[in-house]
Structure formats: structure tokens, C-alpha cells
Amino acid sequence: MKYWRVPLDTGEIQVTRGRVHIIEERCKGCGYCIEYCPREVLQFSRKFNKKGYHPPEVKEEECLNCHYCELLCPEFAIFSIAAEKAES
């Protein structure tokens, strides 16, 4: 994220991090998670799943564990789990 001025408490703020899990065989390729991820961490992959849809894949590890994709996915095919933050 880009700031016009770095907040004074940047070092103290705990940012949650998540890891996206995708169950590819359940995906029907509606693209809701890709379109509405607030951090835009997902994109369509080039591969096909068994049903012939392109499941999403993680583009960059910027997930904040907000669970919105999990709530929006009609197929129970995507969810995120809190991840330990590596860097401070």
C-alpha cells in the first residue's frame, strides 16, 4: 500500500495475513472472488479443472485474511486461513 506519509505507528500495527486455499475441482469459474477481492490477489489460471472451468490462482501473497472470497463463493471452493506474518 502506498502512503503520502508513513504513519508514525507503522511498526506497531499488526496486519493480519491469510493464506488462500482453493479447492479447484469445485470451482465453476464465475470469477466473483477474482473481481471482488479487496486486495486483488487472485487471477484466472490457465489450466482447466475437471468440469472445464478455469479456477482462480493466487497472483501475489497479499491476502489479509478478510474471508470475503469465502463468503462470496457459491461453491464452497475457496477459503482463507490466518497465516503467521513472516516480516515485521
Total of residues contacting other proteins (CB under 8 A): 31
Residues 62, 87 contacting (CB under 8 angstroms): no
Q: If DSSP codes are grouped into helix, strand and coil, which group holds residue 71?
A: helix
* Contact positions with other proteins (CB under 8 A) in 20-79: 20-24, 26, 28-32, 35-36, 51, 53, 55, 57-58, 61, 68, 70-77, 79
Rounded to the nearest whole angstrom, what is the least distance from the CB of residue 2 to other proteins in the complex? 24
Residue 70: closest CA among 16, 25, 18: 18
Task: Dig out the grid coordinates for 36 from the structure.
Answer: 471482488
Site of interaction with other proteins (CB under 8 A)? 19-24, 26, 28-32, 35-36, 51, 53, 55, 57-58, 61, 68, 70-77, 79, 81
